[in-house]
Amino acid sequence: MSRNSRTAEVEVINGKVSMKGRRSVFALCLLAFALLTGCGVRFDMQDQPRYKTYKKSDFFKDGRASRDLPEGTVARGLLKDNKAFYTGKIDNPDPNVQVQTTTDPTGNTLVSSFPNDITEFPITVTKDVIDRGQDRFNIYCIVCHGPVGAGDGMIVRRGFVKPPTYHDDRLRNAPVGHFFDVMSNGWGRMNGYAAQISVADRWAIVAYIRALQASQNPTEIMKMNSTSPAKTGETSAAETHGGAK
């Protein structure tokens, strides 16, 4: 055996760790790592005590791990302090005022008074807004209300109850807030579409309904002008053209 091979067998030579000693240290490190990972020992935030969603808790009196938000909590960007834009209602509406209704020959319950509804658009009505409203109208509304809002959509032709036309005096004179409110919350046989259509797109559809009314009654004066765009947490329909929900 050569002198170099004999030297490799010695663990420490002149204060330095030999090749054999290095292999031993490395093997011990591998063993320690394997024991730690094999036993599932973790030292990060993944192993902190926590409750999973909807799990039971023995700490809280009601037994629920999921806690309610503190009263008055509003998520960032969801304050919705512009009542006209988000609800179609005036500031400080009277909750006790009664809406007057009538019934048409087909059994539809018709609103004949419009308390608390705003009369002016809370967004600027432009051609882009009306074009966006037409696009959304053709997706969500045309099946019932028809291509010009006469209440002769395809499902009506196939037996569904005909909705009121947009072109009678009652709805021609209805405030814009009424259309937004019905679109958001529903009325009669119509369900609300707040979950499907964004706030800005609902106003765009209202603008398109006004355009339809003007097209079928060109001598009528339509209130298509609006106030300046409101500062809201949601972009206007014109800004979301082509990309809104």
Domains, in order of start, for the chain? 3-46 (no CATH), 83-216 (1.10.760.10)
What would the two tokens of residue 121 be?
A: 């658009």
Nearest CA-CA partner of 162 in 173, 153, 172, 174: 153
Helix (H) / strand (E) element for 158: namely: none
Q: pTM of the entire structure?
A: 0.66
Question: pLDDT truncated to tens, each residue of the chain (245 aa)?
Answer: 454 444 444 444 555 555 556 677 777 777 776 666 555 555 566 667 778 888 888 888 899 888 888 998 988 888 898 999 999 999 998 988 988 998 888 888 898 899 999 999 999 999 999 999 999 999 999 999 999 999 999 999 999 999 999 999 999 999 999 999 999 999 988 999 999 999 999 999 999 999 999 999 887 654 444 444 444 444 444 444 444 43
Q: Is 163 exposed, middle or buried (0-12, 13-18, 19+ CB in 10 A)?
A: buried
The pLDDT score that the predictor gives to residue 31 is 75
Contact criterion met (CB below 8 Å) for 97 and 115:
yes
